[in-house]
Amino acid sequence: MSAVAAPSVGQATQWRAFRAVLRRDLYVTWRELPAFLAQVILQPLFLLFVFGKVLGSLNLTRHGYANLLFPGLLALTAVITAMQTLAFPLVAEFGWTKEIEDRLLAPMPTSFVAAEKVLFAILRSLVATLIMIPVGIVILGSIPWRWSGFPLFLAGLVLGALVGAGFGLLMGTLVQPQRINLLFSLVFTPLLFTGCSQYPWPSLARLRWFQVVTAANPMTYVSESLRGALVPAVPHIRPWICLVALVFAVCVLIAVGVRGFYRRAID
């Protein structure tokens, strides 16, 4: 057996490994499709039904509230789905199943393993969000839609998914397995309700302190950009401010998240 060193790994090998890992994730999602759909759709579906339909039918919300809520729920779905796709599996994989080790030993840089997780989270997030459109039509009868707002809509969704992925990466690498319950109560719930998905941000002027709190949640800018795209008549934060805030949040979250990932991947 010759011990002459093999040629250095080319980009092709590294990308092949990356694609194989992504294929594995898609394969598993495909085989567990009903579970995936239940996981991502149920929560926004109930929110939409209760707040959009039930409260409206009882005249407890003002006319048009459903239109205002719908973009917010899309934002919520985009962020939360990406976050869940990353956070829970990561905590488990680093914590006890150790499944991630086989990927970390594949011939690609450690950053590729993290990048694949992020890309997969974005894909799942986009699928989940787009499914909400027909669901919305069925439950509400009609949904607000403007093709002229589509570029902003898409940008808001992708950045929203990236924000969620960043949060997921951060939590997935920081949270110890035995504290996974805390993740739910201390992080998910506050994020869920301070992200302006159920109310437009400018209307919070009457509740100043809460307005300040919500401004610190990146999800707010996802909700507001989608409102700007779909229901521009409702007062909303200006789109360029949303996009700048989101790009900034994505950079910070991904940078810190990848750092956490490296810390867990290599001793």
Within 8-149, where are the H helices? 11-31, 33-47, 55-57, 65-92, 101-104, 110-140
Cα separation, 72 vs 86, whole angstroms: 22
Chain positions contacting other proteins, by CB under 8 A: 1-9, 13-14, 16-17, 20-21, 23-24, 27-28, 32, 97-109, 265-267
- Between 2 and 59, CB nearer to other proteins: 2
Q: What is the DSSP letter of 51?
A: I
CB 71 within 8 A of CB 152: no
- Between 75 and 113, CB nearer to other proteins: 113
CA atoms 160, 164, 167, 170: torsion sign = negative
Least distance to other proteins, CB of residue 121, Å: 16
- Between 97 and 178, CB nearer to other proteins: 97
Least distance to other proteins, CB of residue 182, Å: 24
Least distance to other proteins, CB of residue 52, Å: 35
Distances (CA, A) of 227 to 31, 70, 230, 233, 248: 34, 9, 5, 9, 20
- Between 101 and 190, CB nearer to other proteins: 101
- Between 3 and 205, CB nearer to other proteins: 3
Distances (CA, A) of 42 to 6, 46, 84: 51, 6, 14
Least distance to other proteins, CB of residue 38, Å: 16
Least distance to other proteins, CB of residue 261, Å: 13
